[in-house]
Amino acid sequence: MRWTIKPKSDPNEIDRLSKELNVDALITHLLLQRGISTYEEAKRFFRPELSHLHDPFLMKDMDKAVARIESAIAKNENILVYGDYDVDGTTAVALLSSFLQENYPNVATYIPDRYSEGYGVSLQGIDFASDNDFTLIVALDCGVKAINQVGYAKAKGVDFIICDHHRPGDTLPDAIAILDPKRVDCSYPYKELCGCGVGFKLIQALASRNEKTIEDLIPYLDLVATAIGADIVPITGENRVLAYHGLKVINANPRIGFKAIINQLKKSELTITDVVFIIAPRINAAGRMKHGQHAVNLLKEKDLSTAQMFAAEIEEFNTDRKNLDKEITEEALQQIQDNDEEERFTSVVYNKDWHKGVIGIVASRLTETYYRPTLVFTKSGKKLAASARSVKGFDVYNALEKCSECIEQFGGHKYAAGLTLLEEQYENFKKQFEQVVAESIDPKLLEPELSIDAKMDLNQINPKLMRILKQFAPFGPGNMTPVFMAEKLSDTGYGRGVGEDEKHLKLIVVQNGSSPKSAIGFNLGQKLEKVKAQNSFDAVFSLDENKWNGNITLQLKLRDIR
């Protein structure tokens, strides 16, 4: 791994802010790295308040969206809440439909089938709306590129409101309102909301027209926090406020559907990491293995026994997903090994029988192994569908844009995207994608980077430091867990491999006569020989609390050693 240490903050700034906040220089350095340079900014960071959220009417078209929904309710129209089949889409649909149904019955939900309809707004969904007398569709986490579909709906007398967070194309659909902070003509102060976050801004606007306050919307924040974590959007600004308060709801008073999932776990308090790796995969599994509507049903359920039945069903979907994911990953890795006779900048694999629901996960696994932009293709109807994943610092969305002559349809973000193409275009696309990446990627991006916030000595580690570091949470893009480097460590002779096949590394380390510190390195068991016989080594780590038999001790969570 490539170790890079972030630049040291200005010593004068560190000194000034340390005095203002009455904290030590290490904490101040971490705050300055995160763009926090005043007492007021630090207060907002450590104490996120719902009052810090922006006025939803600052978002372009929000007034039009609210007026159209109010008109639909006044005229007794049927409203269809439509969303993508992933976590962001299903939580957004559960959020908006639940909110509307509090006071208005004529609301239904629609999640497209991953296999027969594919990603985004489908003609089949519009036909369903038209055939069932829905005159308004509110699309969440999709729709900003659905120009043809919205035109088709308009011809059938069905209006659209779009709540999206993906990058729009040059032309926008002819919808009544398009809520998307990434619109070039939208001056909304925070651009990084997820789809469910945009949906939340819509209910915030609707609530304000009915003399409701932000406090009335707190029960919806468990959905928003889950979508923020699952969609890997930056946990900065408004997202930090929403995730912080949403986690409080998840841990104190979650909706019945979440309670049914959490009851199956042996966890007392969930972090954003637990939401990403425990709750989100289960919600996602419904759309991957069966249908996203199962997730919406669970998230809206009010009866615990029914929710537990839904949760058990989703648990089965998740087990099936894990088995498929493992099997397909092994096949894909073998395919790469068989075809890697020359040096490549990309991994592109295809098997017509791979399950479409797990190719995104497989693409992530391949990227972790080979660390290069990756696409995993499978057959989907008469076309091929793919999930793309990238490496840190490389925009795969832009790379796909340069291959657009081979592609039927694509969408996504800098690091993750999806696309479809005709089977006869596969080989052309594969060559073109390799060429585009080879010509544009900085070769150092093909080596995983371990980004280090600061150097530190072991004697700086104490309970007070840990107490403050815990208040940096929730962690995620834009506010990652602080990572430190310590030099000239040695093991006390306790070092050993632990876990299955001794693949993890357990140490007790000292530095220049410091008091011993416990350390654990997951998947670093192969480094044991390097630290035996008290060889001096450097380590990169985060700080962690180890809870065992009712005792809490501080430990180093090792990322790498050399």
pLDDT at 533: 67
**Is residue 341 scored above 70 in pLDDT?**
no
Residues 351, 339 contacting (CB under 8 angstroms): no
pLDDT at 413: 80
Dist. CA 557–CA 548, nearest whole Å? 15
Mean pLDDT of the chain: 94
Residues 485, 3 contacting (CB under 8 angstroms): yes
Topology of 56-313 in CATH?
inorganic pyrophosphatase (n-terminal core) (3.90.1640)
Taking only the tens place, the pLDDT of each residue in 277-289 is 889 999 988 888 8
The H or E element spanning position 91 is helix 87-101
The first and second tokens of residue 352, run together, are: 């017509």
Over residues 222-228, mean pLDDT: 97
Over residues 190-214, mean pLDDT: 97
Write the DSSP assignment of 329-380 as a string of letters: HHHHHHHHHHH-SS--S-EEEE-TTS-GGGHHHHHHHHHHHH-S-EEEEEEE
CA-nearest of 509, 474, 463, 506 to 490 is: 509
The H or E element spanning position 30 is helix 25-33
Dist. CA 454–CA 30, nearest whole Å? 8
The H or E element spanning position 454 is strand 454-455
CA-nearest of 56, 299, 301 to 188 is: 56
- What CATH number is given for 453-561 in this structure? 2.40.50.460
Q: Which residues contact 6 (CB under 8 A, 6 or more apart)?
A: 33, 451, 452, 453, 454
Name the phi and psi angles at 111, rounded to 5.
-115, 125
**Is residue 257 scored above 70 in pLDDT?**
yes
Amino acid identity of 265?
Answer: L
Buried b (16+ CB within 10 A) or exposed e, 310-341: bbebbeebbebbeebbeebbeebbebbeeeee
Buried b (16+ CB within 10 A) or exposed e, 443-480: eebbeeeeebbbebebeebeeebeebbeebbbbbeebe
Taking only the tens place, the pLDDT of each residue in 531-555 is 886 789 999 999 998 887 778 889 9
Residues 327, 321 contacting (CB under 8 angstroms): no
3-class SS shares of the chain: helix, strand, coil, % to 5: 45, 20, 35
Q: Which residues contact 361 (CB under 8 A, 6 or more apart)?
A: 321, 325
Dist. CA 8–CA 456, nearest whole Å? 12
Residues 196, 91 contacting (CB under 8 angstroms): yes
Taking only the tens place, the pLDDT of each residue in 474-506 is 999 999 999 999 999 999 888 899 998 899 999
What are the residues facing 389 on neighbouring strands? 374, 416
Taking only the tens place, the pLDDT of each residue in 392-442 is 999 999 999 999 999 998 887 888 899 999 999 999 999 999 999 999 999
Architecture, CATH, for domain 340-446: Roll (3.10)
CA-nearest of 468, 463, 469 to 481 is: 469
Domain boundaries, the chain: 56-313, 340-446, 453-561
The first and second tokens of residue 489, run together, are: 């460590």
Taking only the tens place, the pLDDT of each residue in 311-325 is 999 999 999 989 999
Q: Reading across the β-sheet that carries 134-140, which strands appear in turn?
A: 107-110, 78-83, 134-140, 159-163, 177-179
Taking only the tens place, the pLDDT of each residue in 152-190 is 999 999 999 999 999 898 999 999 999 999 999 999 999
Count of Cβ atoms closer than 10 Å to residue 45 Cβ: 17
Mapping DSSP to helix (H, G, I), strand (E, B) and coil, where does residue 169 land?
coil
Peptide bond into 11 cis (omega under 30): no
* Pick from 201-215, 233-247, 311-325: least confident: 311-325
Q: Which residues contact 333 (CB under 8 A, 6 or more apart)?
A: 366, 369
pLDDT at 271: 92
**Is residue 373 scored above 70 in pLDDT?**
yes
Residues 69, 260 contacting (CB under 8 angstroms): no
| 3-state DSSP of 99-134 | HHHCCCCCEEEECCCCCCCCCCCCHHHHHHHHHCCE
